[in-house]
Chains A and B, each alone.
Chain A
């Protein structure tokens, strides 16, 4: 067995920290990378390094892109007066894959949770209110999941938007409570978007 400070254990340790990867898959991934240095490992190093320097968080919507503001925020065809509120960038991408939403997004950066200590100040709520005003938004669609935290965040955001007189809707989920937007197939996401309901 090698020493703990040698490169292989360090690689295994960092791989095991990735979501969905445990000790066993980290060994498999490391072997795969090291056996295919030219085909996989070096291109991965390049892609990671580019991502680290070039990908930034959009100051407007919170999306990840290589430009700031992001491509969605600068696309004039996206100025539809509809704004879709999501918890995370992963949810934004899930909705984009569905392709049925043509407006702009707002990433909150999480869900309210008193138990996990996620407070309203940690979410991009003030930015949401000013964007709704600045962009002349007429409908805010809350695309938050059906978990307990998703529900309270939806009501909280709805309350904050009420004085603005903007129409607030939420996705119509035919999914059990606890369903995560990110894991839904694209057509389900599109259906939920089409059948959204007033909050």
Chain B
């Protein structure tokens, strides 16, 4: 049990997606299971919580307007009570959102801040290793930003400078040399900061991946990226210089920049790359990856995250379902789960269950 395991004890949704009004207490249970047939709005409940995670747009990356209850113009709202602090996110005029902690309006991106990090898995992640490098990279960066608060800022700034640099070349005419250098210097600085953070988090994660909970497969991860690799070989300041020179010369052939990097996984039990494994094994590796992240956060930051797992039991036999529940209990964090009737393993006694009607 980690020293601090944050618990959401109350959730209220108003005019949100399929819910006109939804309210529930969790009694600060560590497992919260939302059950119901497809179309009853289970995922919407987890999505509402995910709005307080990395990026502030939730796990469907939804625009403000999309979160309306179908066919309604009324503004939506989400209120979460986490360890006696109330976090509110509401739609406001002009396609904007208002984020409040207790009664004070915040200018920052919605999040539980220092109080709790959010990690999530959705059915989309079942195919993570068959998916694009971008999907895996974002999955990993979401975790790195739970670890380093500045990471998402570097990612945004890097992305901005990269688009600026492209716009500069596409604008036609002669490129202002000073302007280009200012942009490339900033780009190189953010690139090295991103790569160094990724490397540091990956190194710490490997230990937990090698010793999985329950009978999840041991795994290891590798970062494929030029800046990440150079940062493992040289001091950061030299990598920054080298990258800047390459940007200046336009010598970027074969150079995987931070926005092109990939994260690959090895199933250590099979000694095979995850994308070569069966779909069941792939799902187990992704789950083991998320569990390792949760354990690392709890151990290093003395603060357990909150996990959102959308339909984690599908395609798992009863033994694996039981192993997952056992591993989740061992974590000690609060875990929100959905299930559409595929769960046949017995639930731990302390589970808070909520059945949604069609």
Contacts and interface: CB of A to CB of B under 8 A. Distances in A.
Interface in B150-200: 153, 157, 160-161, 163-165, 167-168, 171, 176, 178-179, 181-183, 185-186
B108 interface: yes
B153 A114 contact: no
Interface in B92-112: 93-94, 107-108
Nearest to A158: B182
Given A120-B179, A155-B182, A159-B182, A176 B107 contact: yes
A: contact size bracket: 10 to 19
A70 B153 CA distance: 40
B167 A114 contact: yes
B182 A114 contact: no
Contact of B164 (A114, A159, A177): A114
Contacts of B94: 22
A148 B160 contact: yes
B110 to A, nearest CB: 15
B113 to A, nearest CB: 13
B171 A148 contact: no
Interface residues of B, number: 22
A115 B107 contact: no
A151 B156 CA distance: 14
A148 B108 contact: no
Contacts of B182: 112, 152, 155-156, 159
B188 to A, nearest CB: 13
Contact of B168 (A114, A151, A156, A159): A114
A117 interface: yes
A119 interface: yes
A177 B163 CA distance: 19
A158 to B, nearest CB: 9
24 contacts: A22-B93, A113-B164, A114-B164, A114-B183, A115-B163, A115-B164, A115-B167, A119-B176, A120-B178, A148-B157, A148-B161, A152-B179, A152-B182, A152-B183, A152-B186, A155-B182, A155-B185, A155-B186, A156-B178, A156-B182, A159-B181, A160-B178, A176-B108, A177-B153
Q: Please name the 6 residue pairs, one residue from A and one from B, whose CB atoms are nearest each other, closest first.
A: A114-B164, A114-B167, A155-B182, A114-B168, A148-B160, A152-B182
Given A113-B164, A117-B171, A152-B186, 10 more contacts: A22-B94, A114-B163, A114-B165, A115-B160, A119-B179, A151-B186, A152-B179, A152-B183, A159-B178, A159-B181
